[in-house]
């Protein structure tokens, strides 16, 4: 488990040093403002999300946004 923690800490430090805050774009390509939210997730879901983010070298937010976009498309 400590190996995962060190990977996450290294990844977090690299992202903070090299990347600006993420911006999300609309279909037209214009920058869209963001809204901070807070949700309670089951521990098992959070753990799987965190591991997936590390394994795919992505942010948890990008994975959640992609999943919500896919879900929304299925609802149409």
Is the Cβ–Cβ distance between 49 and 41 less than 8 Å? yes
Confidence of residue 12 (pLDDT cuts 50, 70, 90): confident
Please tell me the least confidently modeled range out of 13-27, 30-44, 55-69.
Answer: 13-27
Question: pLDDT at position 14, please?
Answer: 76
Please tell me the least confidently modeled range out of 38-42, 47-51, 72-76.
Answer: 72-76
Average pLDDT of the residues in 20-42: 70
At CB < 8 A and 24+ separation, what contacts does 52-58 make? Answer: 54/4, 54/7, 54/8, 54/11, 57/11
pTM, two decimal places: 0.59
- The number of C-alpha atoms within 13 Å of 30 and in the hemisphere containing its C-beta is 3
């Amino acid at each position: 488990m400590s190996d995962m923690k060190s990977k996450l800490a290294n990844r977090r430090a690299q992202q903070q040093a090299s990347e600006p805050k993420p911006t999300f774009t609309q279909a037209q390509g214009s920058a869209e403002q963001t809204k901070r939210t807070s949700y309670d997730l089951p521990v098992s879901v959070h753990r799987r999300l965190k591991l997936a983010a590390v394994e795919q070298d992505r942010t948890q937010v990008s994975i959640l946004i992609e999943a919500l976009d896919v879900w929304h498309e299925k609802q149409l």
